[in-house]
Amino acid sequence: MMKLSVSIWMGVSMLTIALLCGCASENKSIRSHGFTTAAGRLLDANGQPFIIRGVNVPHAWFEEPSYEALSTIAAHDVNCVRIVWETSLPPAKLERIIQRCGDLKMIPILELHDATGDTSAMKLLSLARYFTSADMMQMLKKYKRYVMVNIANEWGDHSVTGAVWSEAYRPCISFLREAGYTSTIVIDAPGWGQNIQPIIDYGQQLVELDPQHNLLFSIHMYGSWNDEQVIEQKLKEVSAAELPLIVGEFGYCFNNGDNNLGCMVNHRQIMQCCEDLGMGYLAWSWTGNNAENKWLDLVEYTDWETLTWWGKEVFDSPHGIRSTAQQASVFK
């Protein structure tokens, strides 16, 4: 029953996307601005649908190993990397990573980790200001055809309501647009990235507030997503509402849920739902997690390339990256 309903919906939606893409391909200004969103889908700078299949990489904490690992990551058919970064690091170092991603034909999403779990709207705004500094804006415009900005990783703990989350992001969106950033803005859900309800309740309002109408929401799936019915129900609800969404992080059922995140999530179901609904996903994370999060390393920390059990699942399972990733058309 799920496959039938999804197939019908996908048929209608893909027709809509095709029509929108046709219009976009005729509009040079759209092609030059970088990523856009339409009918709940992410489109690349050529106006072609792009479905993210990627991983998170800890560049902020392991600068050289992360940089060197990019070629290995690309060899696993990854089409997008979410770059962990912090405001204390200079834009010049970030540009080196962006250039390398482009050379390897992977889309970089730039995210700031400084405000993880924070509840201060001013702290969130300070991250938007980092992206709008003169050096950053010059770089973002230079690579606008294949770079996206993820303002903050998991801003907002479990106490942050949807209304507070929405109000906090409004000035950040305006700040980026007024500074001249026109590409897609990626926004994490609150509740340490896991609360999807604010996206459902306030996502469309934020899209309408954005002069570019160009937002991509991101949900992180750990212990709050242990119920398989909820995964399917909520992802389908967001998809039906045509709110652009990716699963920006996810884990698996490690040690029967006896882990630091209480995570018993069905990772294969997440990947299948994303495939059925045309949504992107990014697994956490390449390697280098601390002792309590080491179970989330996709490759061994000893060599930064040998796949762990988790890595084999993400890359080689039926709906994994190797069998589903398609390169962005801007690189073809």
* Residues recognised as catalytic: 154, 249
Give residues with Cβ within 8 angstroms of 69, minimum separation 6: 57, 286, 287, 299, 304, 305
Residue-wise DSSP of 52-115 = -EEEEE-TTTSHHHHHHHHHHHHHTT--EEEEEE-TTS-HHHHHHHHHHHHHTT-EEEEEE-TT
Angle at 220 between CA 215 and CA 226, to 5 degrees: 140
Task: Take residue 44 and report the two structure tokens written for it.
Answer: 């690349």
What does the block give as tokens for 310?
């988790």
Cα separation, 266 vs 252, whole angstroms: 6
Please state, in angstroms and rounded to a whole number, the distance separating the CA atoms of residues 144 and 202. 27
Residue that the structure tokens 């997008």 belong to: 80
Q: Taking Cα atoms as reference points, which of 281, 314, 284, 217 lies closest to residue 56? A: 284
- d(C-alpha 17, C-alpha 77), whole Å: 25
Q: Give the span between the Cα atoms of 227 and 221, in whole angstroms.
A: 11
Residue 197: strand, helix, or coil:
helix
Question: Number of H helices and number of E strands within the chain?
Answer: 12, 10
